[in-house]
Amino acid sequence: MNSIYFNWSRLRPMCWLLAAWICVLLVVWSPLSAFAAVTQIEESPGQMLYQSRQNLRDQTGKSWQVVAFKRIHPDGSAILSLRLVGFPGAVELDHTQPLTLTTSMGQTLTAKDVSSEISQDTPALANVGEYDIQPVLPQLHAEIPLQLTLPMITGSAIELQIPSTTLQEWQTISAP
């Protein structure tokens, strides 16, 4: 009777390679913003700050910090803003122009640049833009992909793709 002998020791390295490949695929295909979360900070008695932070890359591969935040003052008034921070010296935002938000369905909205309100003591930084997103956020749907277009001093524009999970966090922050 012939018995077939199978050498498992030859197959073991291939199993390890397959397991490593599956791990790499899981990391690559997982959403990048899954590492972000909405945080809540009491800045002073009665003043709360809710924020969502992500690091996203523009169409040229440059990294941007994207911070949506809602600040509730002790008197109950609130502001909802989106702060975009590029690498210093690498970008110069045009603070005279609004931020453009475009959905994949072709809907175009704009958000006013309020960078000058960050600090009245110093001029707005060239690489930091702050925009009032309160009027436009209710018009956006997390299921529909969103692109931000930031105007540059040079006349060109930077584009950031906003993942749906990020938009969901922004809407969570904006909720009363």
pLDDT in tens, the chain (176 residues): 555 665 656 656 654 555 554 544 444 343 443 445 789 999 999 999 999 999 999 999 999 999 999 999 999 999 999 999 999 989 999 999 999 999 999 999 999 999 988 766 667 789 999 999 999 999 999 999 999 999 999 999 999 999 999 999 999 999 87
Q: How far apart are CA 149 and CA 158, in angstroms?
A: 6
Q: Which helix (H) or strand (E) holds 24?
A: helix 8-29
Q: What is the pLDDT of residue 29?
A: 44
Contacts of 66 (CB under 8 A, 6+ apart): 53, 54, 55, 56, 82, 83, 84, 85, 160, 162, 166
Name every residue whose Cβ is closer than 8 Å to that of residue 13 and which is 6 or more positions away in sequence.
none
Question: What does the pLDDT read at residue 147?
Answer: 97
DSSP code, position 93: B
Residues 6+ away with beta carbon under 8 Å from 130: 81, 82, 83, 84, 113, 114, 115, 117, 118, 124
Is 0.85 surpassed by the pTM of this model? no
pLDDT of residue 37: 78
DSSP SS3 for 102: strand
Q: What pLDDT is recorded for position 48?
A: 94
